[in-house]
A and B are shown apart, each in its own frame.
Chain A
Amino acid sequence: MTKEESIQQELIKNFNFLEDKIRIPKERRIFVDVSADKFEEVLKFLKEKIGFDTLCTITGLDEGATLGMIYHLTRQDGIVINIKISVPKDDPKIKTIIGYFPAAEYYEREVVDLLGAKVEGLPEGSRYPLPDGWPDGQYPLRKDWKSDMLEKEDK
């Protein structure tokens, strides 16, 4: 059994709802789909018991009716696990993971600014990466938002 397969077995053993939600497309890459309410316990397990102690980044996706969040974690031996959750677009609430990964702060702010996610528990701080004065409710990375929607400034 490869290392990736044994991680898959461990996950299914502890969380049987992950039974057919785990894909191993190539060596050192695992993709998992988790429902948002079970995410934190899976994350905690992966960090504390399987050794995925480094966060690479968080990718936000516009999936139409939902917003997807992919959390990319790595391990010392080079294996990357990509955990995806989905939340409804009209109420995109997710909990911060800075308690487990302080580095998540900038990645979560990015998802708030560019996709309009609501991250509960994020501390006070300046926005990233959009400029001050960017109008509320405009989320550039959403599919229905086009780059030419902004009028160019007058000279």
Chain B
Amino acid sequence: MTVIEKLVTWARVKSPWIIHFNSGACNGCDIEILAALTPKFDLERFGVLLKGTPRHADVLICSGPVTRQTKDRLIRIYEQMPEPKFVVAVGTCACSGGVFDGCYNILGGINSVIPVSAYIPGCAASPQAIIDGVVKLLGSLKGK
């Protein structure tokens, strides 16, 4: 890797900016994602910042199975993120549709619509599991 590439990777790994999207979840995983940002778990010590717009984000943290109504929104958000971008599916529903797989308004897990970089199972995924998954994703970036 060139010096510039090393610098950019270091910046990405040390301070990933994330955007959170709920594509039809029961809100269980969403509150655990928010809990991961609060003092007891404190995702921010990893340099993670929650951003409001996909254009500033490196990582899309997604919860919930994809409902028909949220599919286009999800694709749109993914397309607005600049490269390189990563998607984290939080919760069993985001990984595979979970308990809603087979329901008529559900298309499946997040990977039925956009490519996913990391899967964090759990119903709901606990904040510790979320932090573990995000840190693993960052670790895998170091090698790139």
For residue A131, CB closer than 8 A to chain B, the reply is: yes
A140-B104 contact, Cβ under 8 Å, with A155-B112, A155-B113: yes
Q: Is the CB of A153 within 8 A of B112?
A: yes
Whether B4 sits at the interface, judged by CB under 8 Å, is no
When distances are taken between beta carbons in the complex, the residues of chain B under 8 Å from A148 are: 102
A-B contact count (CB 8 A): 24
Contact check, B108 vs A147: say whether CB atoms are below 8 A apart. Answer: no
SS of B interface (majority)? loop
Interface residue B99 (Cβ < 8 Å from any Cβ of A): no
Interface residues in B, total, Cβ within 8 A: 12
Q: A148-B102, A153-B107 are in contact. Are A131 and B112 (CB under 8 A)?
A: no
Residue contact B68 to A131, C-beta cutoff 8 Å: yes
Is B23 close to A, CB under 8 A?
Answer: no
Q: Say whether, besides A131-B67, A131-B68, A131-B69, A147 and B103 are in contact (CB < 8 Å).
A: yes
Shortest Cβ distance from A73 into chain B, in angstroms? 29
Chain A positions near chain B (C-beta within 8 angstroms): 130-134, 140, 147-150, 152-153, 155
